Amino acid sequence: MKILIKKATIIDPNSSHHMQTKDLLVEHGVITKIHNSISDTNDCQVFESDQLHVSQGWIDLNARFGEPGYEYKEDLTSGMRSAAQGGFTHVTLMPSTKPCIQKKSDINFLIQESAHNIVNLHPIGALTENRDGKQITEMYDMHQSGAIAFSDDKRSIANASLMKIAMLYTKNFDGLIMSFSSEEKTALKGQINEGITSTKLGLNGIPSLAEELQLARDIQLCEYTNAKIHFSTITTSESVKLIREAKSKGLNISADTSSYHLILDDSELESFNSNLKVNPPLRSLKDIKALKMALKDGTIDAICSDHYPQNIENKKCEFDIASFGMINLETSFAAANTALKDILSKEELISKFTSKPKAILGLKNEAIEEGCLADLTLFNPEFKWKYEQKNIVSKSKNSGLIGKKLIGKALAIINNGQISFCN
């Protein structure tokens, strides 16, 4: 396969061609030539587009595909198709399946089933057996089989002693724990963010304190063990302060937030749209401002999709019994780009999808240079479009962004010697 990319602005600080507009020739999965103009188009598939930009392939730190057990919501095939549609060449998969991903055979299954696909899957193993917070899993065995990290997904570890042991254990083999910060008893029976909107609508609130209590504890454990930890989907201004302070102490921590938490605030819930019922909940405008500033100054390292498919029965029901979660792989970049357009430069934004998550996961940073593997995302950061249900590739349609006008769109991905075009 030969692909000629015409007049693309390269966004890659690791490349000698950073911020330059070049032609790129990809042959059999390798970038063979980068030049001002490449005219040899024999046997080449030519790709050109207005406002064309190219970066290293995007990485998502937080997604769920449902297989095994919840294939009716999303299976591996539809999930990888959805990821490709959103411009992602790498996706980390949370272990919240049935049965959950907690043995080396589970890790092997996911890796084998996704082999030779254009999208690389990186399984996350469960931190505790059955994600019940009682007994740690055989993390080392899963690590040896290819587990990229360990998490109980949307379940926090209530037992501080168990979390301490897990940190010390993973430290021995340089493993990574991904922690979801929500103190369960404080958040119990909550539906949306505790604040003006929850009071107005008469819905039980999830206070910011639930996130901050758990976060503060895990930061203390990180300091005690000198282990590393990643905090998933941070959403409050106080959480930002806690992480900023912890990083100033030199603690080995990182954090991400979802792109939809940057563009949607809790006032949107006045519509009672159950697709907006997410965990952690949509927060206040004050929190959103803090998240944006934290991305600007590096307190928050990366942006994730928090892709959480739900079937129609779990969403088309009374709000208080509807399931949490929304799909976002196909809109993750667009939502972030729209929200951060006047705050982050193109280079800064793309780093939240490329070099920063790579550093968190310990993945190789493959620069856009001649002789390097072609792991690329092609995109237009200025493209204006309206997200509509008919365009959704995912099996599930539970997006709170349907009908929203967005800026920025992935156009194609190139990886593993293949190319996939976005609708």
- Burial bucket for residue 313 (CB in 10 Å: 0-12, 13-18, 19+): exposed
For the sheet with 253-258, list strands across it: 58-63, 88-93, 120-125, 149-150, 177-180, 229-232, 253-258, 302-304
The answer to whether 306 is a known catalytic residue is yes
How far is residue 54's CA from residue 11's CA, in Å, rounded to a whole number? 6
Q: Three-class SS of residue 384?
A: strand
Pairwise CA distance, residues 32 & 42, whole Å = 15
Identified catalytic residue from 75, 153, 306, 375: 306
Q: How far apart are CA 154 and CA 157, in angstroms?
A: 10
What are the DSSP E strand ranges found in 72-166? 88-93, 120-125, 149-150
Instruction: Find the Cα–Cα–Cα–Cα dihedral 384, 303, 108, 365, rounded to 10°.
Output: 90
Return d(Cα 237, Cα 292) in angstroms, integer.
10
How many CA atoms lie within 13 Å of 147's alpha carbon, on the beta-carbon side? 31
Q: Which residues contact 375 (CB under 8 A, 6 or more apart)?
A: 56, 57, 89, 366, 414, 415
Residue 339 has φ and ψ, to the nearest 5°, of -75, -30
Residues labelled catalytic: 306
